[in-house]
Structures are given as structure tokens and as C-alpha cells.
């Protein structure tokens, strides 16, 4: 949910980086944009989903980008699944936000409720338009998520499943703050600061969900983040991954900002 709180949390993480790291990240973001104004996936191809994260980083770091070219490319885009449709909408909103004077940028950032009745079930995460993550992407706080809630307060990706999902729980917690769910999620944290399965994605979204709920995580995450940081200013998915990308860099900044 790329609202103002999300952006401010990422910006807070960016400000905690050294001046040199900020400069390197800014230069890397500027250099990553493709000729059509998009940002590349891990294979180097311009991708709408990764463009959302690239624009987020450009906004946070004030990196110079080909904004007008990106705007024109996005006018042609017509994705067929919820994830990319949500990314497209947020990309357009970020580009509009960048055009506003700095004073006005802090006032509001629209987060639309996505209604896509034309999309088949397979176009939604887990093939389920009512799953916690689908509802999170749609910013839908009205849907009843109780069929996905386990007795321990965590949430599953699927109805009737006894297996919890970290991202499902984080998504549900952002939509419906709940003390018992926050406590259950916080209890999953390892001593090195990570959350299952020891990767940056699950760690960042868990820390952010707890931060958004006002619940403080028990362990710090600085050491783990340092292990994921790469010389080009980007973050990798986990310490053993040698390549950083736009998506995981946003997660890295999100984790730093949320762990304060």
C-alpha cells in the first residue's frame, strides 16, 4: 500500500544511510532506467512492477529520471493482473506527486481502492480475490478476513489452511490492526532481526506492519541489513544473494525506517 506513511517510512530509512551510500544509491537509480522510462527486473527487461519500486526510490532519493518518457510509456500500459494494475496506478500517482512542489507533496498521497470485477480469479494473488494480500493490494478494509485467520492470531494465504503466511499476516495487520496478531507476528522474529524465512521481504513487511500498528519489534535488524547491502547502493533479497534490485532496496529502506 504505497501511501504517505509507506513513503515516509522508506524516506526515514534512506536518511539513516551515510551520505556516500545515499549518493551511490541515487546514481544507481538514475542509471537503471531503460530507454522507455521503465525500470528493469532482475533479467534487465523493463517491467511495470519493478518500475513502481524504481519510482519510489527516485522520489525518496531525488534521483534524476526520465519522467516524461516514463509517463508516455505508462499511458500505453494495460496489465491483466491485479499486481501489475495496482503497480500501474501507484506509478501514475508517484509521477504526479513528483510534479508537485515539495510543500504540497507532504499533504496527501491518494491510495485508491481497486475494483476490478473484470479480472478472473487467477489474476489475483493465490488465485483468490479475497485473500489478505489481494485485499491489501486493493486497499480493501471492508472484506472479512476471518476465514484466513488462524487460532494463534496469524493469517494464512488460503481459507481453511492451518499454515500461516508471513506476508499474509503482515497484510492483514496493516488492514486491521490487532494486538493479538501483532504479538503473534512479533514472536516470529529471530534474534538476528529477521522473520521467516530469513529474507528481506518477510522481514521488511513484518517490521512495517508492526510499526504501522505501533508494536515494537524485540530485536534490531541492522546487522542483517548490512549483509544484504551491495556496493552499488542496492539491497539483495538475502545475504547469499549477490545481486541487489529496485524491489529489495525499497524493502531495505522500509525495514530501516520501520525498525527505529
CA triplet 195, 205, 253: central angle to 5 degrees? 105
Question: What pLDDT band is residue 99 in, cutting at 50, 70 and 90?
Answer: confident
Cα separation, 26 vs 205, in Å, equals 23
Question: What pLDDT band is residue 171 in, cutting at 50, 70 and 90?
Answer: very high
Burial environment of residue 115 by CB neighbours within 10 A (0 to 12, 13 to 18, 19 or more): exposed
pLDDT at 43: 87
DSSP structural state of residue 113: P
pLDDT at 75: 95
Strand, helix or coil at 8?
helix
pLDDT above 90 for 3? no
pLDDT above 80 for 2? no
DSSP string, 201-216: HHHHHHHHHHHHHTPP
Q: What is the pTM of this model?
A: 0.94
pLDDT at 104: 64
Please answer whether residues 236 and 228 qualify as being in contact, where contact means their C-beta atoms are separated by less than 8 angstroms.
Answer: yes
Q: What's the chain's average pLDDT?
A: 92
Name the grid cell of 56: 519510489
Backbone φ and ψ for 65, nearest 5 degrees, come out as -135, 165
Q: Residue range 149-156: average pLDDT?
A: 97
Question: What pLDDT band is residue 53 in, cutting at 50, 70 and 90?
Answer: very high
Amino acid at each position: 500500500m504505497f501511501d504517505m506513511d509507506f513513503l515516509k517510512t522508506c524516506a526515514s530509512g534512506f536518511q539513516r544511510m551515510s551520505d556516500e551510500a545515499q549518493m551511490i544509491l541515487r546514481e544507481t537509480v538514475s542509471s537503471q532506467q531503460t530507454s522507455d522510462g521503465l525500470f528493469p527486473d532482475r533479467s534487465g527487461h523493463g517491467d511495470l512492477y519493478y518500475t513502481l519500486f524504481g519510482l519510489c526510490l527516485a522520489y525518496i532519493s531525488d534521483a534524476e529520471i526520465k519522467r516524461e518518457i516514463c509517463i508516455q510509456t505508462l499511458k500505453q500500459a494495460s496489465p491483466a493482473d491485479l499486481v501489475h494494475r495496482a503497480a500501474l496506478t501507484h506509478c501514475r500517482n508517484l509521477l504526479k506527486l513528483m510534479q508537485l512542489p515539495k510543500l504540497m507533496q507532504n499533504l496527501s498521497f491518494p491510495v485508491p481502492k481497486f475494483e476490478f470485477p473484470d479480472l478472473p480469479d487467477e489474476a489475483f494473488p493465490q488465485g483468490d480475490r479475497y485473500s489478505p494480500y489481494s485485499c491489501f493490494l486493493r486497499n480493501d478494509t471492508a472484506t472479512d478476513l476471518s476465514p484466513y485467520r488462524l487460532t494463534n492470531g496469524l493469517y494464512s494465504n488460503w481459507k481453511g489452511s492451518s499454515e500461516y503466511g508471513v506476508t499474509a499476516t503482515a497484510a492483514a495487520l496493516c488492514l486491521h490492526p490487532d494486538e493479538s496478531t501483532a504479538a503473534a507476528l512479533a514472536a516470529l522474529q529471530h534474534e538476528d532481526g529477521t522473520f521467516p524465512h530469513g529474507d528481506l521481504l518477510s522481514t521488511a513487511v513484518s517490521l512495517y506492519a508492526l510499526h504501522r500498528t505501533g508494536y515494537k519489534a524485540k530485536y534490531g535488524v541492522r546487522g542483517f541489513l548490512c549483509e544484504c547491502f551491495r556496493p552499488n547502493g542496492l539491497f539483495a533479497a538475502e545475504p547469499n544473494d549477490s545481486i541487489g534490485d529496485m524491489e529489495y532496496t525499497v524493502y531495505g529502506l522500509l525495514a530501516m525506517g520501520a525498525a527505529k
